[in-house]
Amino acid sequence: MNGAQSLVKSLVASGIDTCFANPGTSEMHFVGALDSAPELRAVLCLFEGVATGAADGFARMTGRPAATLLHLGAGLANGASNLHNARRAGSAVVNVVGDHATYHQQYDAPLASDVAGIARPFSHWVHSGTSSKTIGGDAARAVQAAREAPGRIATLILPADTAWGEADVTAPALPVAPPAPVSAEAVALARELLTNGGKSAILMRGHAVLSAEGLELAGRIRRKTGAKLLCDTFAPRIERGAGVVAPERLPYFAEMLTDFLAELDSIVLVGAQPPVGFFAYPGKPSWCLPEHCRIHYLAQPHEDGASALAALADALGASEADERPALALPQAPEGKFNAFTLGQALARVLPEHAVLSDDGATSSGPVLAALASAPHHVHMALTGGSIGQGLPVAVGAAVAAPDRKVVCITGDGAGLYMPQALWTMAREQLDVVTIVFANREYKILSVEMMRVGAEQPGPKAKAMFDLNDPYVDWVSLANGFGVPAARAETIEEFSAQIEVAMAAKGPRLIEAVLL
Amino acid sequence: MNGAQSLVKSLVASGIDTCFANPGTSEMHFVGALDSAPELRAVLCLFEGVATGAADGFARMTGRPAATLLHLGAGLANGASNLHNARRAGSAVVNVVGDHATYHQQYDAPLASDVAGIARPFSHWVHSGTSSKTIGGDAARAVQAAREAPGRIATLILPADTAWGEADVTAPALPVAPPAPVSAEAVALARELLTNGGKSAILMRGHAVLSAEGLELAGRIRRKTGAKLLCDTFAPRIERGAGVVAPERLPYFAEMLTDFLAELDSIVLVGAQPPVGFFAYPGKPSWCLPEHCRIHYLAQPHEDGASALAALADALGASEADERPALALPQAPEGKFNAFTLGQALARVLPEHAVLSDDGATSSGPVLAALASAPHHVHMALTGGSIGQGLPVAVGAAVAAPDRKVVCITGDGAGLYMPQALWTMAREQLDVVTIVFANREYKILSVEMMRVGAEQPGPKAKAMFDLNDPYVDWVSLANGFGVPAARAETIEEFSAQIEVAMAAKGPRLIEAVLL
């Protein structure tokens, strides 16, 4: 057994069954070891950001890590922006990054770089292997680190000689600590804040907290106390639709957020951070809670927020269920073709338990509104603000949950960061319907330009938002990657196309021209 | 005047006339300032790696930096792999990376990251601005740092409040030191090594050294001493073809390189590093020079290699010119369609002073061989081994040299890392002909798999090299990005298409199916 085989078998022993890969020469022994581990599925990606984004999507669906396989520091760098998003999502990811053999690094060959230095800003755990005999154990430690609650980024650097050298054993899985329990004191304080007569809200984040079950508990608390239920604008994962208690989503823009929160006397955080502006704006506050608002961390992200909600509901005697949206499908939309009518058409055909990977920027709000009473579905937002994660996360979600329909909604600007994900959808015949909101501009930027109080934009500035000269032909692009596609310029065209796409299995793309 | 205007005007004052941009909200004031600086051309890119790769290509053509405009740490990360390549090329690049306002960073908003930490492994100079009053001066320092010989990566981080705050002045350009002169001692030692009766070689790198003039000097030395003239497998920039003294290109594979160098008693380095294996391989040496070979640094990369060659030629009394290839166009190729016949067809229509941006992996060697006696042209290789630079570098070269025909030769694997560059070619109507070697596999990897002595690859391993399931339709992809394209499956088809493409102006793509 060589180090690579020990590594692969140790990953499998620790529960890794999927690897999103974009290997190079220094990872050839890892690639060679794949066939010795039938339990490990290897999914080829044409770009590293697709691999890391897919691992994020996989973790959001399963709660456990996939591996990535990346080629030295440069390959890791190509995957880094989606690791940033994954880190913000609290997703567990195990990166395996090849490097030059230990003794080769002294020569400063063209691909040499500071791999650990590149990994550090995006990783909670970084280790560079030193021996083929210990690389299996390193793999077990990487998985353990990644599984720390709520989910961490672990990066294991694999010098080529630790892959091809001799190894003896497969490392067994290491124990993984469950999420930390919250204290009775924290529950008691939350109870006090929700019952002291002031205006209060509960801001929630985390897979278990924002699951139907977690939200059901939150609904009981709302019913008992009148507290507002809130979730972040960009929750990593939330269940929603018919039958699921619906929290209010925080507004995106800082001044709307400040207004929205203005009357709160207290806010109870369950796995969430205090709400702040996504960006700073001249003369506007970054801190959006009112001065006097009391902040209480009922559960931090590494703690067991769902159990904390249960304990709080018990402490409050909150046993009665609150209102949940009933299933209500919209009438077939007619007339104007916009993100809301698009959402209505989608709501009519969305199968139960569908997964939405959302990188839709200015268009996703209206779609979510239109889906409020659609069948129960899972929504996964762009967590770290680095656009381009929607398609890769959809790849990972579809690999993780082959029985569910995955719908990727993405802006055309966002989708053009990593369109290579379409190829992996075609190759693996993933059941993903991609809807591109083709407004042919970086619409959010033309909005933000005004808001930041910058100059009245001149022609050169305006050109920086323009995606219309030339506009991207998404049908041609998708076909180039092997994905069947259609263009919709009216709501009627879209309605017909989405119905066909939902009824079929396999990847499809619809370019929704929303000018 | 705000900080952004001071920054933009200061960049212009320091000689920056081109900015490859992919901005976001935090860079809106920079974008707003563009129209106040008519001297600065802003070129929009759909992905940050296109922007950084284009800046590299621009620097290779002009010897001076362009700016990039990138969106926080995640945007910088997306551009980092081509900064790695640019760093290896000795290219001057000035990155301007927006960040949250200084006072906003405490809140850990979704896009917050360690921007300086992300920049450091890829940059020679990193600075985070602290005031709108000093950001202009910071810009001047960034350009000065980037222009340090041979060319450096300078990254200036621009917190949003340093862009929108008030500023007073435009910073003047700072003095830039010329390349360091080499000592008489270094010249004397080189002379001794080349005339002591041993077998010697001169390994050269750097724009001036590998220009027609630098190579002419090297040719005189060869004629006088019999020394071999060598250049790296992956030189950042070399002039070649008819009328230009031709050094031998070092072989890529370590054991071929070792054999190639086996008889050398001494090697004189002019701007180059000692040749080593690109990768390490089990049981094969990484160090490729013979044990006894004497190494002499006549000029380090920051020193004036061309003047050193002139001084050496003088010291040797080497005044007679050596042989240069005469213009010799191949017959129209017939029969087999491969990289060599493709190169012959290209040679027949390549205009003088054309620029080749080469990311062609296994196919570029035969093309270069076929172009040996073609009209004088410039070749720019993949310097850092991070594939995907060919298309972006072509963008930058075409922006820098609008009067020259740029030819991008790229593997299909390599081209799929950053195909978004095609859109910028269409938008700016750049005169770039892209030739994609569509062998529909990561061919270099199936070669390397054998060479590293990994397992006989099983089906899962083999699947990691396969780009045929599905194959990418490059014509469809290029059309999607607005670039006219054609597919060639025979040498006759290719010959006809390349003739049309060369005669026209503007972007074109030919998918050369080389199965």
Q: What is the pLDDT of residues B150-208, one digit of tens each?
A: 999 999 999 999 999 999 999 999 999 999 999 999 999 999 999 999 999 999 999 99
Q: CA-CA distance, B299 to B291, in Å (whole number)?
A: 22
Largest CA distance in chain A: 69
* pLDDT score at A453: 73
Chain-chain contact of A34 with B161 (C-beta, under 8 angstroms) = no
Chain-chain contact of A101 with B234 (C-beta, under 8 angstroms) = no
State the nearest Cα–Cα gap between A314 and chain B, in angstroms: 33
Q: Is the pLDDT of residue B466 over 80?
A: yes
Token code pair at residue B29: 């004031």
β-partners of residue A125 are A154
State the nearest Cα–Cα gap between A343 and chain B, in angstroms: 26
Chain-chain contact of B480 with A463 (C-beta, under 8 angstroms) = no
Token code pair at residue B249: 């290109």
- Tell me how crowded residue B227 is: count the other CB atoms within 10 A of its CB: 24
Q: CA-CA distance, A232 to A383, in Å (whole number)?
A: 10
The answer for A 244-283 residues in CB contact with B (under 8 A) is 273, 276-280, 282
Q: Which of B250, B186, B185, B187 is nearest to B221 (CA)?
A: B187
Q: Which of A452, A403, A395, A385 is nearest to A419 (CA)?
A: A395
Chain-chain contact of B476 with A474 (C-beta, under 8 angstroms) = no
B450: confidence class by pLDDT, cuts 50, 70, 90: confident
Contact list, B416 vs chain A (CB under 8 Å): 46-47, 420, 423
Query: How many Å from the N-terminal Cα to the C-terminal Cα in chain A?
Result: 59
CB A407 within 8 A of CB A426: no
* pLDDT score at B455: 62
Burial class of residue B450 (count of CB atoms within 10 Å of its CB; 0-12, 13-18, 19+): exposed
CB-based contact (8 Å) between A68 and chain B? Answer: no
The answer for A 209-238 residues in CB contact with B (under 8 A) is 234
What number of residues does chain B have?
Answer: 515
CB B241 within 8 A of CB B372: yes
Using DSSP's 3-state secondary structure scheme, residue B116 falls into helix
Chain-chain contact of A286 with B42 (C-beta, under 8 angstroms) = no
The answer for B 444-473 residues in CB contact with A (under 8 A) is 444-445, 448-449, 452-455, 457-461, 463-464, 466-467, 469-473
Using DSSP's 3-state secondary structure scheme, residue B380 falls into strand
Q: Which of A162, A164, A161, A157 is nearest to A72 (CA)?
A: A157
Report, as an integer, the average pLDDT of A39-44.
98
CB-based contact (8 Å) between A20 and chain B? Answer: no
E strand segments, A246-323: 248-249, 266-270, 294-299
Say which residues have a Cβ less than 8 Å from residue A37's Cβ, sequence separation at least 6: A5, A8, A9, A11, A12
Chain-chain contact of B482 with A472 (C-beta, under 8 angstroms) = yes
Nearest to A280 among B100, B280, B470 (CB): B100
CB-based contact (8 Å) between B35 and chain A? Answer: yes
Contact list, A23 vs chain B (CB under 8 Å): 445, 464
**In percent, how much of chain A has pLDDT > 90?**
97
Burial class of residue B3 (count of CB atoms within 10 Å of its CB; 0-12, 13-18, 19+): buried
Contact list, B73 vs chain A (CB under 8 Å): 84, 121
CB A17 within 8 A of CB A39: yes
A-interface mutation test, from B2, B26, B72, B78, most A Cβ less than 10 A away: B78
- What are residue B261's phi and psi, to 5 degrees? -100, 0
CB-based contact (8 Å) between A35 and chain B? Answer: yes
Domains and CATH numbers, chain B: 3-164 (3.40.50.970), 184-316 (3.40.50.1220), 339-513 (3.40.50.970)
Q: Any idea what the Cα angle at residue A511 is, between residues A505 and A515, rounded to 5°?
A: 155
B454: confidence class by pLDDT, cuts 50, 70, 90: low
* pLDDT score at A451: 83
Chain-chain contact of B279 with A466 (C-beta, under 8 angstroms) = no
* pLDDT score at B449: 87
Q: CA-CA distance, A421 to A402, in Å (whole number)?
A: 17
Chain-chain contact of B74 with A386 (C-beta, under 8 angstroms) = yes
Chain-chain contact of B113 with A121 (C-beta, under 8 angstroms) = yes
β-partners of residue B268 are B202, B296
* pLDDT score at A454: 62
Q: Is the pLDDT of residue B373 over 70?
A: yes
Token code pair at residue A498: 């989405």
What's the whole-number average pLDDT of chain B?
Answer: 97
Q: What is the pLDDT of residues A208-252, one digit of tens each?
A: 999 999 999 999 999 999 999 999 999 999 999 999 999 999 999
A452: confidence class by pLDDT, cuts 50, 70, 90: confident
Q: What is the pLDDT of residues A7-36, one digit of tens each?
A: 999 999 999 999 999 999 999 999 999 999
Contact list, B428 vs chain A (CB under 8 Å): none
- What are residue A55's phi and psi, to 5 degrees? -60, -35
State the nearest Cα–Cα gap between A349 and chain B, in angstroms: 29
* pLDDT score at B103: 97
Report, as an integer, the average pLDDT of A378-383.
98
Half-sphere exposure of A355 (CA within 13 A, CB side): 28
Token code pair at residue B45: 């890119």
A361: confidence class by pLDDT, cuts 50, 70, 90: confident
* pLDDT score at A266: 98
Chain-chain contact of A480 with B477 (C-beta, under 8 angstroms) = yes
Nearest to A28 among B26, B420, B448 (CB): B448
Contact list, A164 vs chain B (CB under 8 Å): 282, 452-454
CB-based contact (8 Å) between B77 and chain A? Answer: yes
Burial state string for A465-497 with b = 16 or more CB within 10 A and e = fewer than 16: bbbeeebbbbbbbbbbbbbebbbbeebebbbeb
Contact list, B29 vs chain A (CB under 8 Å): 452, 454
Chain-chain contact of A78 with B81 (C-beta, under 8 angstroms) = yes
Residue of A nearest to B101 (CA): A280
Q: Is the pLDDT of residue A276 over 80?
A: yes
Report, as an integer, the average pLDDT of B116-137.
98
Token code pair at residue B256: 């071929």
Chain-chain contact of B32 with A109 (C-beta, under 8 angstroms) = no
CB-based contact (8 Å) between B181 and chain A? Answer: no
Nearest to B477 among A457, A458, A477 (CB): A477
Q: Is the pLDDT of residue A455 over 90?
A: no
Contact list, B124 vs chain A (CB under 8 Å): none
B350, amino acid identity: L
State the nearest Cα–Cα gap between B494 and chain A, in angstroms: 20
Q: What is the pTM of this model?
A: 0.98
Q: Is the pLDDT of residue B413 over 90?
A: yes
